[in-house]
Amino acid sequence: MLSRTADNLFWMCRYIERAENTARMLDVNLQMSLMPQDAHARDSLWRAVLRISELQHDYDARYPAVTPLDVLHYLVREPTNQSSIYSCLRAARENARAVRGSLTTEVWETYNTTWLELQKHLQTHLPERNPGEFFEWVKFRAHLVRGVTIGTMLDDEALHFLRLGMHLERADNTARLLDVKFHEEQDDLAARSSEFYRWASLLSSVSGLEIYRKVYRDVITPDRVAELLILRPDMPRSLLASVQALTEDLARVTNQRSAETERRAGLLYAELRYGRIEDILHSSLHRYLERFLERINDLGNRISQDFLVPLAA
Protein backbone atom coordinates (compact mmCIF):
# COMPACT_ATOMS: atom_id res chain seq x y z
CA MET A 1 0.00 0.00 0.00
CA LEU A 2 1.22 3.52 -0.82
CA SER A 3 2.40 5.54 2.18
CA ARG A 4 0.03 8.40 1.33
CA THR A 5 -2.97 6.07 1.27
CA ALA A 6 -1.97 4.45 4.56
CA ASP A 7 -1.49 7.90 6.09
CA ASN A 8 -4.98 9.05 5.09
CA LEU A 9 -6.58 5.87 6.43
CA PHE A 10 -4.67 6.09 9.70
CA TRP A 11 -5.60 9.72 10.37
CA MET A 12 -9.14 9.35 9.11
CA CYS A 13 -9.86 6.94 11.96
CA ARG A 14 -7.82 8.87 14.53
CA TYR A 15 -9.85 12.01 13.88
CA ILE A 16 -13.24 10.34 14.18
CA GLU A 17 -12.08 8.71 17.43
CA ARG A 18 -10.83 12.07 18.72
CA ALA A 19 -14.14 13.75 17.93
CA GLU A 20 -15.99 11.06 19.86
CA ASN A 21 -13.62 11.31 22.83
CA THR A 22 -14.10 15.08 22.98
CA ALA A 23 -17.88 14.67 22.87
CA ARG A 24 -17.72 12.13 25.69
CA MET A 25 -15.64 14.40 27.92
CA LEU A 26 -17.84 17.44 27.30
CA ASP A 27 -21.04 15.46 27.86
CA VAL A 28 -19.86 14.14 31.22
CA ASN A 29 -18.61 17.60 32.25
CA LEU A 30 -21.99 19.12 31.54
CA GLN A 31 -23.66 16.52 33.72
CA MET A 32 -21.12 17.05 36.52
CA SER A 33 -21.55 20.83 36.32
CA LEU A 34 -25.21 20.41 37.35
CA MET A 35 -24.12 19.16 40.78
CA PRO A 36 -23.97 21.66 43.68
CA GLN A 37 -20.45 23.09 43.76
CA ASP A 38 -18.61 26.36 44.33
CA ALA A 39 -17.13 28.56 41.60
CA HIS A 40 -13.61 27.16 42.09
CA ALA A 41 -14.78 23.57 41.64
CA ARG A 42 -16.75 24.50 38.54
CA ASP A 43 -13.75 26.30 37.07
CA SER A 44 -11.50 23.29 37.78
CA LEU A 45 -14.01 20.98 36.12
CA TRP A 46 -13.84 22.83 32.82
CA ARG A 47 -10.11 23.42 32.99
CA ALA A 48 -9.66 19.67 33.33
CA VAL A 49 -11.16 19.14 29.87
CA LEU A 50 -8.63 21.57 28.41
CA ARG A 51 -5.73 19.94 30.27
CA ILE A 52 -6.69 16.47 29.06
CA SER A 53 -6.38 17.67 25.47
CA GLU A 54 -3.31 19.85 26.22
CA LEU A 55 -5.21 22.92 25.04
CA GLN A 56 -5.12 25.06 28.18
CA HIS A 57 -2.41 27.43 26.89
CA ASP A 58 -4.08 27.97 23.52
CA TYR A 59 -7.47 28.52 25.15
CA ASP A 60 -6.08 31.09 27.60
CA ALA A 61 -4.55 32.99 24.69
CA ARG A 62 -7.98 33.31 23.07
CA TYR A 63 -10.40 33.76 25.97
CA PRO A 64 -10.23 35.97 29.10
CA ALA A 65 -11.76 33.35 31.42
CA VAL A 66 -12.87 29.74 31.56
CA THR A 67 -16.64 29.56 31.13
CA PRO A 68 -18.77 26.59 30.04
CA LEU A 69 -20.05 28.46 26.97
CA ASP A 70 -16.57 29.46 25.80
CA VAL A 71 -15.13 25.98 26.38
CA LEU A 72 -18.01 24.45 24.43
CA HIS A 73 -17.48 26.90 21.57
CA TYR A 74 -13.73 26.25 21.54
CA LEU A 75 -14.00 22.44 21.64
CA VAL A 76 -17.07 22.05 19.44
CA ARG A 77 -17.04 24.58 16.61
CA GLU A 78 -13.75 26.52 16.62
CA PRO A 79 -12.23 25.89 13.14
CA THR A 80 -8.71 27.00 14.12
CA ASN A 81 -8.59 24.52 17.01
CA GLN A 82 -7.35 21.33 15.35
CA SER A 83 -8.85 19.22 18.16
CA SER A 84 -12.37 20.67 18.06
CA ILE A 85 -15.19 18.37 16.97
CA TYR A 86 -15.68 20.53 13.87
CA SER A 87 -12.01 20.29 12.87
CA CYS A 88 -11.79 16.56 13.59
CA LEU A 89 -14.87 15.64 11.55
CA ARG A 90 -13.75 17.92 8.73
CA ALA A 91 -10.29 16.31 8.70
CA ALA A 92 -11.79 12.80 8.89
CA ARG A 93 -13.99 13.53 5.88
CA GLU A 94 -11.12 15.07 3.89
CA ASN A 95 -8.90 12.06 4.57
CA ALA A 96 -11.75 9.74 3.55
CA ARG A 97 -12.25 11.70 0.32
CA ALA A 98 -8.53 11.38 -0.48
CA VAL A 99 -8.72 7.56 -0.29
CA ARG A 100 -12.22 7.16 -1.69
CA GLY A 101 -11.04 4.28 -3.88
CA SER A 102 -9.79 2.29 -0.87
CA LEU A 103 -13.13 2.53 0.97
CA THR A 104 -16.46 0.86 0.36
CA THR A 105 -19.29 3.10 -0.80
CA GLU A 106 -21.00 2.64 2.56
CA VAL A 107 -17.95 3.83 4.52
CA TRP A 108 -17.47 6.91 2.34
CA GLU A 109 -21.16 7.84 2.53
CA THR A 110 -21.10 7.50 6.32
CA TYR A 111 -18.18 9.92 6.64
CA ASN A 112 -19.63 12.33 4.10
CA THR A 113 -23.10 12.32 5.66
CA THR A 114 -21.61 12.88 9.10
CA TRP A 115 -19.85 16.01 7.83
CA LEU A 116 -22.97 17.34 6.10
CA GLU A 117 -25.15 16.72 9.16
CA LEU A 118 -22.59 18.42 11.40
CA GLN A 119 -22.85 21.62 9.37
CA LYS A 120 -26.64 21.58 9.71
CA HIS A 121 -26.40 21.09 13.47
CA LEU A 122 -23.96 23.97 13.81
CA GLN A 123 -26.13 26.25 11.67
CA THR A 124 -29.18 25.51 13.83
CA HIS A 125 -27.07 25.94 17.01
CA LEU A 126 -27.87 22.47 18.32
CA PRO A 127 -24.70 22.34 20.50
CA GLU A 128 -25.90 25.44 22.35
CA ARG A 129 -29.63 24.60 22.39
CA ASN A 130 -29.29 20.97 23.40
CA PRO A 131 -25.65 19.97 23.98
CA GLY A 132 -26.60 16.55 25.34
CA GLU A 133 -28.42 15.68 22.13
CA PHE A 134 -25.51 16.94 20.04
CA PHE A 135 -22.92 14.89 21.93
CA GLU A 136 -25.08 11.78 21.60
CA TRP A 137 -25.22 12.43 17.86
CA VAL A 138 -21.40 12.63 17.67
CA LYS A 139 -21.03 9.38 19.60
CA PHE A 140 -23.67 7.67 17.46
CA ARG A 141 -21.96 8.72 14.23
CA ALA A 142 -18.61 7.42 15.53
CA HIS A 143 -20.24 4.10 16.44
CA LEU A 144 -21.87 3.99 13.01
CA VAL A 145 -18.56 4.64 11.24
CA ARG A 146 -16.88 1.79 13.10
CA GLY A 147 -19.77 -0.59 12.51
CA VAL A 148 -19.99 0.15 8.79
CA THR A 149 -16.21 -0.10 8.46
CA ILE A 150 -16.00 -3.50 10.14
CA GLY A 151 -19.13 -4.74 8.38
CA THR A 152 -18.21 -3.77 4.82
CA MET A 153 -14.42 -3.43 4.50
CA LEU A 154 -12.18 -6.23 3.27
CA ASP A 155 -9.94 -7.59 6.03
CA ASP A 156 -6.74 -6.29 4.45
CA GLU A 157 -4.08 -3.64 5.05
CA ALA A 158 -6.54 -0.75 4.68
CA LEU A 159 -8.61 -2.04 7.59
CA HIS A 160 -5.50 -2.63 9.69
CA PHE A 161 -4.27 0.95 9.24
CA LEU A 162 -7.73 2.21 10.19
CA ARG A 163 -7.59 0.12 13.36
CA LEU A 164 -4.06 1.32 14.14
CA GLY A 165 -5.27 4.91 14.14
CA MET A 166 -8.33 4.13 16.26
CA HIS A 167 -6.53 2.19 18.99
CA LEU A 168 -3.57 4.56 19.20
CA GLU A 169 -5.93 7.50 19.71
CA ARG A 170 -8.05 5.53 22.19
CA ALA A 171 -5.08 4.49 24.33
CA ASP A 172 -3.83 8.09 24.42
CA ASN A 173 -7.22 9.44 25.47
CA THR A 174 -7.88 6.88 28.21
CA ALA A 175 -4.44 7.52 29.74
CA ARG A 176 -4.99 11.30 29.71
CA LEU A 177 -8.42 10.97 31.31
CA LEU A 178 -7.07 8.78 34.10
CA ASP A 179 -4.09 11.02 34.76
CA VAL A 180 -6.10 14.24 35.02
CA LYS A 181 -8.91 12.73 37.10
CA PHE A 182 -6.53 11.12 39.61
CA HIS A 183 -4.65 14.40 39.94
CA GLU A 184 -7.94 16.18 40.62
CA GLU A 185 -8.81 13.68 43.31
CA GLN A 186 -5.49 14.19 45.10
CA ASP A 187 -5.59 17.99 44.86
CA ASP A 188 -9.24 18.63 45.70
CA LEU A 189 -9.74 17.41 49.27
CA ALA A 190 -13.01 19.31 49.55
CA ALA A 191 -14.58 17.08 46.91
CA ARG A 192 -14.52 13.88 48.97
CA SER A 193 -18.28 14.07 49.50
CA SER A 194 -18.84 13.83 45.74
CA GLU A 195 -16.19 11.15 45.19
CA PHE A 196 -18.70 8.56 43.93
CA TYR A 197 -20.04 10.92 41.28
CA ARG A 198 -16.56 11.93 40.16
CA TRP A 199 -15.46 8.35 39.55
CA ALA A 200 -18.81 7.41 38.05
CA SER A 201 -18.41 10.31 35.61
CA LEU A 202 -14.95 9.08 34.61
CA LEU A 203 -16.33 5.61 33.94
CA SER A 204 -19.25 7.07 31.99
CA SER A 205 -16.87 9.03 29.77
CA VAL A 206 -15.41 5.73 28.51
CA SER A 207 -18.69 3.74 28.61
CA GLY A 208 -17.33 1.83 31.57
CA LEU A 209 -19.91 2.32 34.34
CA GLU A 210 -22.06 -0.70 33.48
CA ILE A 211 -18.94 -2.79 32.84
CA TYR A 212 -17.56 -1.81 36.27
CA ARG A 213 -20.76 -3.00 37.95
CA LYS A 214 -20.64 -6.32 36.12
CA VAL A 215 -16.97 -6.93 36.94
CA TYR A 216 -16.75 -5.72 40.56
CA ARG A 217 -20.39 -5.66 41.77
CA ASP A 218 -19.41 -3.27 44.56
CA VAL A 219 -18.86 0.37 45.42
CA ILE A 220 -16.73 2.41 43.03
CA THR A 221 -13.18 2.90 44.30
CA PRO A 222 -10.23 4.68 42.61
CA ASP A 223 -8.03 1.56 42.68
CA ARG A 224 -10.60 -0.54 40.85
CA VAL A 225 -11.31 2.22 38.33
CA ALA A 226 -7.59 2.33 37.57
CA GLU A 227 -7.40 -1.45 37.26
CA LEU A 228 -10.40 -1.57 34.92
CA LEU A 229 -9.10 1.17 32.63
CA ILE A 230 -5.48 0.03 32.59
CA LEU A 231 -5.22 -3.74 32.97
CA ARG A 232 -8.55 -5.34 32.01
CA PRO A 233 -8.24 -7.00 28.56
CA ASP A 234 -12.06 -7.31 28.29
CA MET A 235 -12.67 -3.58 28.79
CA PRO A 236 -12.83 -2.15 25.21
CA ARG A 237 -11.23 1.20 26.07
CA SER A 238 -8.61 -0.01 28.54
CA LEU A 239 -4.93 0.58 27.90
CA LEU A 240 -4.29 -3.16 27.69
CA ALA A 241 -7.09 -3.79 25.15
CA SER A 242 -5.96 -0.87 23.00
CA VAL A 243 -2.28 -1.83 23.02
CA GLN A 244 -3.12 -5.49 22.35
CA ALA A 245 -5.10 -4.51 19.25
CA LEU A 246 -2.33 -2.13 18.22
CA THR A 247 0.26 -4.90 18.49
CA GLU A 248 -1.85 -7.35 16.49
CA ASP A 249 -2.42 -4.91 13.64
CA LEU A 250 1.24 -3.92 13.54
CA ALA A 251 2.09 -7.59 13.01
CA ARG A 252 -0.34 -7.71 10.07
CA VAL A 253 1.19 -4.74 8.24
CA THR A 254 4.82 -5.50 9.09
CA ASN A 255 7.53 -4.39 6.66
CA GLN A 256 11.34 -4.34 6.55
CA ARG A 257 11.55 -1.14 8.63
CA SER A 258 9.04 -1.89 11.39
CA ALA A 259 10.83 -4.52 13.52
CA GLU A 260 11.83 -2.03 16.25
CA THR A 261 8.34 -0.51 16.34
CA GLU A 262 6.81 -3.96 16.73
CA ARG A 263 9.32 -4.79 19.48
CA ARG A 264 8.45 -1.66 21.45
CA ALA A 265 4.72 -2.25 21.05
CA GLY A 266 5.15 -5.88 22.13
CA LEU A 267 7.17 -4.85 25.19
CA LEU A 268 4.48 -2.34 26.23
CA TYR A 269 1.79 -4.97 25.72
CA ALA A 270 3.69 -7.54 27.84
CA GLU A 271 4.12 -5.03 30.68
CA LEU A 272 0.40 -4.28 30.66
CA ARG A 273 -0.64 -7.92 30.33
CA TYR A 274 1.43 -9.07 33.29
CA GLY A 275 1.19 -5.86 35.33
CA ARG A 276 -0.48 -5.57 38.72
CA ILE A 277 -2.43 -2.54 39.83
CA GLU A 278 -0.82 -2.66 43.29
CA ASP A 279 2.62 -2.19 41.77
CA ILE A 280 1.45 0.61 39.47
CA LEU A 281 -0.22 2.57 42.29
CA HIS A 282 2.69 2.00 44.66
CA SER A 283 5.20 3.44 42.19
CA SER A 284 2.99 6.50 41.40
CA LEU A 285 0.15 6.31 38.94
CA HIS A 286 0.98 9.76 37.53
CA ARG A 287 4.52 8.74 36.61
CA TYR A 288 3.24 5.48 35.14
CA LEU A 289 0.69 7.23 32.92
CA GLU A 290 3.18 9.93 31.99
CA ARG A 291 5.60 7.24 30.84
CA PHE A 292 2.80 5.40 29.04
CA LEU A 293 1.88 8.54 27.09
CA GLU A 294 5.51 9.04 26.11
CA ARG A 295 5.67 5.49 24.78
CA ILE A 296 2.37 5.78 22.90
CA ASN A 297 3.56 9.02 21.33
CA ASP A 298 6.81 7.30 20.40
CA LEU A 299 4.88 4.45 18.77
CA GLY A 300 2.79 6.96 16.81
CA ASN A 301 5.93 8.67 15.54
CA ARG A 302 7.57 5.36 14.64
CA ILE A 303 4.46 4.19 12.78
CA SER A 304 4.60 7.42 10.77
CA GLN A 305 8.27 6.82 9.95
CA ASP A 306 7.82 3.14 9.09
CA PHE A 307 4.59 3.20 7.10
CA LEU A 308 3.14 6.66 6.58
CA VAL A 309 4.07 10.05 5.18
CA PRO A 310 6.71 11.40 7.62
CA LEU A 311 5.74 14.47 9.61
CA ALA A 312 7.42 17.70 8.55
CA ALA A 313 10.41 18.63 10.70
Asked which of 166-180, 246-260, 297-311 is least confident by mean pLDDT, the reply is: 297-311
Q: At what angle do helices 195-205 and 222-231 cross, to 10 degrees?
A: 10
Does 111 or 201 have the greater pLDDT score? 111
Whether the pLDDT of residue 190 is over 60: the answer is no
- pLDDT tens per residue across span 6-32: 999 999 999 999 999 999 989 988 887
Q: What is the pLDDT of residue 28?
A: 85
pLDDT at 309 over 80: no
What's the confidence (pLDDT) of residue 215? 94
User: Could you tell me the pLDDT band of residue 218, with boundaries at 50, 70 and 90?
Assistant: confident
What's the pLDDT tens digit per position in 29-69?
Answer: 888 777 766 677 777 788 888 988 889 999 999 999 998 89
Q: What's the pLDDT band for 2 if we cut at 50, 70, 90?
A: confident
Percent of the chain at pLDDT > 90 equals 74
Residue 312 has pLDDT above 60, yes or no: no
Exposure on the CB side of residue 250, measured as CA atoms within 13 A: 26
Exposed / middle / buried, residue 70 (Cβ in 10 Å: 0-12, 13-18, 19+): middle
pTM (2 d.p.): 0.91
Is a pLDDT exceeding 80 seen at residue 96? Answer: yes
Strands (E), the chain: none
Query: How confident is the model at residue 186, as a pLDDT?
Result: 57
Average pLDDT, the chain: 91
Of 158, 161, 159, 168, nearest in space to 264 by CA: 168
85 touches 23 (CB < 8 A):
yes
Q: How many CB atoms lie within 10 A of CB 301?
A: 13
For the stretch 114-166, pLDDT in tens is 999 999 999 999 999 999 999 999 999 999 999 999 999 999 999 999 999 99
Statement: residue 86 has pLDDT above 90: yes
What pLDDT is recorded for position 313? Answer: 41
**What does the alpha-carbon distance between residue 187 and residue 26 come to, in Å, rounded to a whole number?**
21
Q: Quick one: average pLDDT of 265-275? A: 97
Cα distance between residue 99 and residue 241, in whole Å = 28
Write down the pLDDT at residue 184: 65
Name the percent of the chain lying above pLDDT 70. 93
